[in-house]
Structure 1
Amino acid sequence: MSDDLRGLPPRRELPDDVRDRLRAEVRAGIGKPRRTKHLWYAAAAAVVVLAAGAVVATQAVRQQPVAGPPPPAPDPGNRLTLDAKVATSSLDRCWAAVKGAGKEDRVPPREEWVPLFTEVLAGDSVVAVTAAGKPMFCETTATTVTLSDPGATPAYAPGTRVGLLLHSPTGVVAGVVDAGSAPPFLDSRTESGDNMSQSIRPSTVTGQFVAMTRAALWTTTLSLENPPAPGGTVLPTPPPWLVMVVDRPVTADRTSPAGRALGECLAAAEMEVVPDAAAYAPGPVLEADGYRVVLGRHDERVVVCATQPDRKRPGKTKSTSYLDFTGPQPPPARTLIVDTLGGTESEAEQGKARRPFTAALPTTATKATIDFGIGTSVEADVVDGMVATWVPQNIHLDPLAKVHVRARDAQGKVVYDGSLMLM
């Protein structure tokens, strides 16, 4: 061994995610895509990016001590990552949907699909992929599959170099950013005036990007913003998706009063669209002073959906969903986030605001005693591990305040006894 190398730590294998990403970038970069007016992919550029990524990864491996953390991914600026397991499962479902629709002639063979990166948010997974060099996006949820059309031309807004290829019912926005252009911000604005802005993070290889806006498809306007420049450019409607199908159907009650309330609220929610909304079984319902709150559960996921008068649009209501983002292994008892109804931002009459307390509890619970610490407690039914009640109006809404909850099963056995955050 050379004396120059004696000070280096022992050679280490690249982590699986780094290896998968490098392999994907190589395969994507050496494809032979069709050149168009707006899109180009250069094998040389891919090789340069790959080389740079390899240098970063190699340096990270050499500089880390043996017992240290793994080296960073080769794209630390964008933080785009490839989950090989998610990609394989999703792409297999998308291919099955293509075959089921009899559209195999519209896409390259499955073996020519090369996953580049994945985006996952609360049960919604998107894979950015190239198919014989063409950009394509495969979205899967617990019950649905959506695949963009690899033969479609991206929809570009005049004067921009950002083209859309997909805007799905769950609010996924995906497309391409032409090489050499700075990615702008993507703004999503609903009819009720809610808006959200997020940065676009394109792949350094193909320019593909995915944005999880969670804004309703039919009532959302997408625009590109370039701060500090004023105004924005409205994006056109993307080309139709190639396939959208419910491949793993799950049905839930929508005929009972609670089922109808949940279905209506989730369908009307414009921001924070809930994937697989039809699969959520209804839980408890609260109604008072023109406000309505309903809970729903699908497996381990819980959602709160609230409806209130829309003061900015007289005669109409506004529905908002709050999905529980606690991860794949949520604690057995937890507070579910929901805003105050009729708060100052809603321009409601003073003194008309109501605050719901909602929580997830063990599914064996049937009754819960909720003590707000003001000398009185509330008894509430627990439905499928969900409980809801109104917070007393004379209580101070302290962000650090807690409530004591004791939950019992049908035999009276205590299945949870502890404190939860009030809000």
Structure 2
Amino acid sequence: MTSETRPGVEVRGAVPPGDAVLWSEGDRESFGVLFERHVEAVWNHAHRLTGSWERAHGITSETFLTAWRTRAEAAPLRDSALPSLYLTAGAVVRRDPDRPPIVDGRAEEVVHRVDGESWTREVVEAVGRLPQEQREVAELCLLGDLAVADAAAHLGVAETAVRSRLALARAGLAEDTPDDEARARTALPAELRTRLRAEVDHGLDHRPRKSSRLPAVVTAAAVLLAGAVFVLRQAPDAAPEADRPAVEEAAVTGPPLDRKFASAALDRCWSAIGRQGAADRSRWRPVFTVGDSQIGVVAARADGKPLFCQVIPTTATVTDPDAAPGAGTAAVLFSREGVVAGVTDVDWRLTALKGTGPNGSVAVRAETGDHMFVARTGVNPTGTAMTISETDSEDPTAVRTLTAPAPPLAVVSDRPDGPAPDRASDAGRALGDCLARASQPLPDPDSYQSGALVTYPGGLVVLGRNSGSLVTCQSDGEKAVAKRDRLVGSSAPAVVRDTRFVGDLGIVIGGELLPEVATVEIGPGDEPLRPAAVAGRTFAVFVPSTGPAPSGIVHAVARDANGDVLFENFWKVP
């Protein structure tokens, strides 16, 4: 059974956070929203700039990592981050125009290698031969399909200058290279989207060894950074140099150690198992750190024995040092948040994890230090056949098989987001099971209170919410897929947050509610309204395929406990 999530629902009275707001948040979750919002466009633009789907994959990954590294000091000039991402992609291409593809040939296979790719390369070459000023506007407006105003803002020139350069660029291009074909967009296959997200997530974990600092006197100025115009601003919470967290390297080629984060995380993990008679906390020595405030991991040693401490906002997970193997290569932790960690008896320079399982494929680099390794895979590792090997090694013996380890010593909700979540009701059990099996793990799955539950032939969709997010989880018995959105916080009594087609059976519509809403009724077009499931300030309804067409209108009515109408509107369904 297949399903397709349709996040772009038109809802009156509710506006999703814009790019500028997400960028200013500066956290990994917000950046993930930006990634999902623009990755297909950036991937297509990278292909137009290179004429190669393989190179487009690597360019896309590097573009988002560059945006992440500059997020604290730079912001797009307008609300959309896409012009900045396009400019950054162009800079990445020109920085190393002849570098080989970063991924293997499967990128071409998944995209099915369009027949006109050689023609596309001719277009790319023609644009590349233009003078710099014309090439910039051609890449943005002809290949990237940006508006003249957006291009002007991000190039720091007048709109008239962009129009003039655009006219010259059009005249300079051959008549047999029409830009409309060059702009044709190819849908990003789900497999490549997943692989790109995993690569970017890994890159976010891997801190650069060296960084250059801008003078502190600069508080707001327009500069050209990595080929893109940004507004620079001094971070409002920037700490004095002496107060910044000490970041060290465990070894010359090893991963970094953020001592401040490691100390706080190990305190939480020690408290979690201290109730079971843990050893003296002072005998725990951090070796290196991976991740961020959403999912962070400390590789440490307790009395010399390997220990892994994973912390998310609400929960601490810690492995048993006494159960870790004393020799060999083995997994010690498979966490539901996608972390794979363990010990190794080899000194490989670069280490990779690969595997396939019910929740997708894994192909990521692992951080290693002091004969321990940690990787964030981006998928739920349950049931995954995993191997660890030396990257790019031709030695067939440089591969070790990882078997699923024993459960961790403790998984403790030490900083709950609210009351203990319901997992006893039908909706609670469905949500707990669906989130536990979700192919792409969410941080803090136990923080979500159960909400509306609807079933359809062969599957179900269940909603949940915590203090800041809404989660929609779909299960068909074999697979589970979870999607998280920030709460809109709209004044509208009812807000659609998710629509998904469930094969050819129909469509599920769900969203969030204000507390005073007691009932919701939804019907396609002029057909009779049908009651939606309402629970936990969420609603969901399954409309069979006899309902709205893929681009139809649904009628929605929300009432309070007295039956008074609080909200009546028509929603456009993609």
> TM-score band (shorter)?
0.5 to 0.7
Cα distance, 1:392–1:289 mapped onto 2, change above 3 Å: closer
Pairing partner for 1:116 from 274, 284, 289: 289
Alignment of 1:119-130 (within 5 A): 119-121=292-294, 125-130=295-300
Q: Is the 8 A contact 1:185 1:197 kept in 2?
A: yes
Is residue 176–residue 202 contact of structure 1 (8 Å, CA) maintained in 2? no
Structure 1 Cα separation of the partners of residues 314 and 539 of structure 2 = 26
Note if contact 1:114-1:130 (Cα within 8 Å) is conserved in structure 2: yes
User: Using the alignment, how far apart are the partners of 2:515 and 2:326 within structure 1?
Assistant: 47
Alignment of 1:406-421 (within 5 A): 406-411=557-562
TM-score, scaled to structure 1? 0.59
| Alpha carbons 2:290, 2:374 under 8 Å: kept | no
Counterpart in the other structure of 1:211: 376
Superposition pairs for residues 329-408 of structure 1, below 5 Å? 330-332=488-490, 335-337=496-498, 339-341=500-502, 343=503, 353-370=505-522, 372-373=524-525, 377-394=529-546, 395-398=548-551, 405-408=556-559
- When residues 116 and 281 of structure 1 are mapped into structure 2, their CA distance, relative to the original with a 3 A threshold, is closer
Question: 1:374 & 1:85 partners in 2: Cα distance?
Answer: 60
1:382 is displaced (CA, Å) by: 2.5
Q: Aligned partners of 1:210, 1:330: CA distance in 2, in Å?
A: 32
Correspondence list, 1:225-374, <5 A: 234-238=401-405, 241-247=408-414, 251-266=420-435, 269=437, 271-273=439-441, 277=445, 280-308=448-476, 317-324=477-484, 326-327=485-486, 330-332=488-490, 335-337=496-498, 339-341=500-502, 343=503, 353-370=505-522, 372-373=524-525
The 1:210/1:402 distance shift into structure 2, 3 A limit, reads farther
Whole-angstrom CA distance in 1 between matches of 2:429 and 2:409:
31
Distance 1:260 1:235, change over 3 A: closer
Give the deviation of 1:387 after TM superposition: 0.9
SS state at 2:506 partner: coil
Deviations 1:214-262 (A, max 9, x none): 4263x33323587899x98642344764444454675444444444444
Determine which structure has greater relative contact order: mean sequence separation of CA pairs < 8 Å that are 6+ residues apart, divided by chain length. Answer: 2
**In structure 1, distance between residues paired with 2:331 and 2:567:** 48
For residues 146-167 of structure 1, give each alpha carbon's deviation from its aligned partner in whole angstroms, at most 9, with x where no partner exists: 113456348865xxxxx63421
In structure 2, do the counterparts of structure 1 residues 242 and 259 end up closer, same or farther at CA, with 3 Å as the change threshold?
closer
Superposition deviation, residue 96 in structure 1: 1.0
- Find the partner of 1:57 among 211, 214, 221: 211
Inter-partner Cα distance in structure 2 for 1:412 and 1:141 = 42
Letter in 2 for 1:305: C
Q: Is the 8 A contact 1:175 1:210 kept in 2?
A: no
Counterpart secondary structure, 1:196 = strand
SS of corresponding position for 1:102: coil
Supply the distance in 1 between the matched residues of 2:392 and 2:521 (Cα, whole angstroms). 51
Alignment deviations for residues 348-373 of structure 1 (CA, whole Å, 9 cap, x no partner) = xxx5x333112223343222243544
Distance 2:521 2:261 in 1: 41
- Taking a change above 3 Å as real, the CA distance of residues 405 and 155 of structure 1, as seen in their structure-2 partners, is farther
SS of alignment partner, residue 200 of structure 1: strand
**Aligned pairs, how many?**
333
Contact preservation (8 Å) 2:266, 2:298: no
Q: 1:338 to 1:189 in 2, by over 3 A?
A: farther
After superposition, give the CA deviation of every residue in 1:330-364 in whole Å (9 maximum; x if it has no partner): 444654557543x3xxxxxxx5x333112223343
Identity of aligned residues (%): 26
Q: Deviations over 1:158-212 (max 9, x none)?
A: xxxxx6342124442124686553332433412xxx4132422526899743315
Gaps of 5+ in 1: 1-14, 19-48, 158-162, 309-316, 344-350
Shift of 1:86: 6.2
Kindly provide the amino acid, as one letter, of the partner of residue 272 in structure 2. Answer: A
Q: Distance in 2 between matches of 1:397 and 1:148?
A: 48
Whole-Å separation in 1 of the counterparts to 2:266 and 2:512: 33
Partner Cα distance (1:396, 1:209) in 2:
47
1:118-142: per-residue Cα shift (whole Å, max 9, x none)?
3354xxx323244588764322346
User: Does the CA-based 8 Å contact 1:61-1:70 persist in structure 2?
Assistant: no
Structure 1 residues 57 and 261: CA distance shift in structure 2, 3 A:
closer
CA distance in 2, matches of 1:208, 1:138: 13
The one-letter amino acid paired with 2:480 is: T
Who is 2:384 aligned against?
220
Deviation at 1:381, TM superposition (A): 4.3
Give the 3 Å change call, closer, same or farther, for CA 196–103 of structure 1 in structure 2.
Answer: same
After TM superposition, the score normalised by the length of structure 2 is: 0.46
Q: Distance in 2 between matches of 1:292 and 1:139?
A: 31
Aligned-residue Cα RMSD (Å) equals 4.9
Cα distance change, pair 263–62 in 1 and its aligned pair in 2 (3 A): closer
